[in-house]
Structure 1
Amino acid sequence: MSGELVLVTGGSGFVGAHCVVRLLDAGYRVRTTVRSLTREADVRAMVKAGGAEPGEALSFAVADLLSDAGWPEAVSGCDFVLHVASPFPPGVPKHEDELIVPAREGTLRVLRAARDAGVRRVVQTSSFAAIGYGHQHTDQPFSEESWTDPNADVSAYVKSKTLAERAAWDFIAREGGSLELSVVNPVGVFGPVLGPDYSGSIQLVRLLMDGAMPGTPRLSFGVVDVRDVADLHLRAMTSPAAKGERFLAIAGDGMTMNDIALLLKARMGDAAKRVPTRMLPDVMVRLTSLIAPSLKPIVPDLGKVRKASSEKAGRVLGWAPRSNEETIVATAESLVRLGLLRNPRKAA
């Protein structure tokens, strides 16, 4: 049991809450930032749902990525920081700066405060979005050597993750002092939901389970379990070999929406009776996105396959993720368990 103090930014989020659970299980004391202390009860409930007993080992600090206030107090006395918090919109923002500014400036606020407080290492949650976009199509798997081109025709979210990570590395190189940085770059994060706050990836499974789509769009993406993402953060935090490195988090080959739909049908019984298994023509998805703005972000990715490898995380940190199948089933089971799906009795 280490007893060292770790700050997790954004503990009310899907990945943040799982990081809190993993750290508590490993014997760390955890402080997490929330934008309002009204979220404390929610976070404690999520941590309990994840199997950890928070007690006095978990404390809270109020801080916002858009303000300097609260960050010196949040990092005070901390040995490590997991910077997980980042804006993720439900749809397309009116202006890309609505995402880019909080992501980039928030990262720099956290790093400055960590450096000034004598924190040893910050682990930043970046994304595959900072690696695999804005490139010519390739059949070769992307690795940590690859960087997204933010000047290409990419979404505001992709640009925000890329610029925020670039800003972090530049800060460490120029003015980081003795502060160390490691970065985790997950693909689509799935796995057990601990409460009503969950990622956009989980929304895809929920929409399938609810039968909210007439079919599956031709989308393909990497899959990783949130529990394994949290584990990789802990490994990147503690391993000397992780200093100054970035690590792709992906469990294996990518999955299509249709793969996920068929898996749910095969494994989730009656709970998956609404899941559609026919594939939608791209043109139908494009037309639907004109009246359903939440679909717009996926349109540029229709039919595209981006491969990636987590060979480095396995070789350097001994990271061994769960299978895609286990992850997707755990996602669906948690949505059922928490009552986050439509009531079957209201089905047409």
Structure 2
Amino acid sequence: MAETVLVTGGTGYIAGWCLAGLLQQGYDVRTSLRSLAKEPALRAALSGQGIDHTRLTCFAADLTRDEGWSAAMAGCDYVLHVASPLGLDAPQHLEDMVAPARDGTLRVLRAATHAGVRRVVMTSAATVATPPLQSPDSLSDESVWFDPNETHVTPYRHAKRQAERAAWDFMHKQTGPTTLTTVLPGAVFGPIMSADTLGSVQVIARLLQGRAKGNPRLGFEVVDVRDLAALHIRAMTASAAAGQRLLGVGQFLWMAEISQILRDHLGDAANKVPSRNIPDWLLRLLARFDPLLRGLTPNLGRQHRHTAEKARVMLGWQPRPSSETLIDCANSLIAHKVV
């Protein structure tokens, strides 16, 4: 009898690829949707990837409400808690992002432990394991938690930290069979399943659309969404992963390097990708009018470098080259007519 896995927020970018991977591996799969009106589009997106979704069941459940979670969890062996605010659009108030992330996570964990789920794998973020902005650039591992009193911390970082901390605090008080593993990804790029689910890929779309007038001194530790989904699934079943934090990061690339890769491999499709760099002061000026840029300015000039050695050794995880991820991402955006 196939094991049953619930993936939260099935219409999300990472969640979609988790669903695809689980279905391909023969699991009975469930997913939560804020509205079942989104179910046809989700199934169409999976079909577009050649995925048989007959073993997928959708449940109406919202992270901000208790209703629906008990039914979604009943009889599940595992939960991949992927749903969370993305943070590309900075909210006016910190609690507007923190509360849904933290409270939604606790809502999922309460339902999972009550149902006797074996393991919950939660998506956190590598930025939670990043040292203070004023510290020298260094290689960080899963032992690091950023200081919440650090200045210039974005609402997204606060939300991710508080959600993960709340998850561990909750689980440390539990005596049942459920275990927790957290996965901390870098910047998630790669192919999209539909034009309605862009996630962090908006950064690449802006480059291809010519909306970025230059390359700021910003960089990302690129991870492919397909590799990240595979890491979640490996962490779900590996006994050694119980109670562990696992970084899922790849190569660090500056925006200028990302733009260069796109120009080198996409031909005319990359005609609008910027070749010049823009100074920090100009980005800060533009950020006054652009929520996406406003959320990125605290990272100007910083190289966030983490090691994924733990995931490699413990789970045999091998992410693909970042250039392949970026090219596949761009071609997917073109194929779906996003650019």
Q: TM-score range by the shorter chain?
A: over 0.9
Are 1:191 and 2:190 an aligned pair? yes
* CA offset digits 1:224-272 (Å, max 9, x no partner): 0000000000100010110000110012x30011101111000011111
1:38 Cα deviation after fit: 0.4
Are 1:46 and 2:45 an aligned pair? yes
The alignment partner of 1:237 has SS state of helix
The alignment partner of 2:5 has SS state of strand
Aligned to 1:231: 230
Residue 96 of structure 2: which of 95, 98, 123 is its match? 98
1:135 Cα deviation after fit: 4.9
Amino acid at match of 1:109: R
The alignment partner of 2:246 has SS state of strand
Distance in 2, Cα, partners of 1:109 & 1:136: 35
Aligned to 2:147: 149
1:1-348 correspondence runs (5 A)? 3-55=2-54, 57-153=55-151, 154-175=153-174, 177-251=176-250, 253-341=251-339
Amino acid at match of 2:163: A
Amino acid at match of 2:284: R
Distance in 1, Cα, partners of 2:198 & 2:179: 28
The answer to which of 24-33 and 2-11 deviates more is 2-11
Distance in 2, Cα, partners of 1:199 & 1:172: 32
Amino acid at match of 2:316: G
Check whether the contact 1:125–1:184 (CA below 8 A) recurs between aligned residues: yes
Amino acid at match of 2:332: S
Check whether the contact 2:185–2:249 (CA below 8 A) recurs between aligned residues: yes
Q: CA RMSD in A?
A: 1.2
Check whether the contact 1:190–1:201 (CA below 8 A) recurs between aligned residues: yes
Distance in 2, Cα, partners of 1:239 & 1:219: 35
1:103 Cα deviation after fit: 0.5
Distance in 2, Cα, partners of 1:296 & 1:198: 22
Distance in 1, Cα, partners of 2:48 & 2:20: 9
The alignment partner of 2:72 has SS state of helix
Check whether the contact 1:134–1:150 (CA below 8 A) recurs between aligned residues: no
1:291 Cα deviation after fit: 2.5
The normalised TM-score by structure 1 is: 0.94
Distance in 1, Cα, partners of 2:160 & 2:286: 27
Amino acid at match of 1:264: L
CA separation of 1:127 and 1:110: change in aligned 2, threshold 3 A: same
Identity of aligned residues (%): 45
List gaps (5 residues or longer) in structure 2: none
Distance in 1, Cα, partners of 2:134 & 2:247: 20
Aligned to 1:344: none
CA separation of 1:13 and 1:244: change in aligned 2, threshold 3 A: same
Check whether the contact 1:21–1:51 (CA below 8 A) recurs between aligned residues: no
The alignment partner of 1:255 has SS state of strand
1:152 Cα deviation after fit: 1.6
Check whether the contact 1:218–1:302 (CA below 8 A) recurs between aligned residues: yes
1:175 Cα deviation after fit: 2.5
Amino acid at match of 2:26: G
Distance in 2, Cα, partners of 1:81 & 1:33: 11
Amino acid at match of 1:257: M
CA separation of 1:135 and 1:207: change in aligned 2, threshold 3 A: closer
1:66 Cα deviation after fit: 0.6
Distance in 2, Cα, partners of 1:328 & 1:285: 23
1:90 Cα deviation after fit: 4.0
Check whether the contact 2:4–2:27 (CA below 8 A) recurs between aligned residues: yes
Distance in 2, Cα, partners of 1:335 & 1:133: 33
- Equivalent pairs, count: 338
Check whether the contact 1:115–1:176 (CA below 8 A) recurs between aligned residues: no
Amino acid at match of 1:167: A
Check whether the contact 2:23–2:29 (CA below 8 A) recurs between aligned residues: yes
Check whether the contact 2:116–2:176 (CA below 8 A) recurs between aligned residues: no
Distance in 1, Cα, partners of 2:245 & 2:88: 27
The answer to which of 111-120 and 199-208 deviates more is 199-208
1:200 Cα deviation after fit: 4.5
The normalised TM-score by structure 2 is: 0.97
Write out the 4+ residue segments of structure 1 that deviate beyond 6 Å after TM superposition.
Answer: none
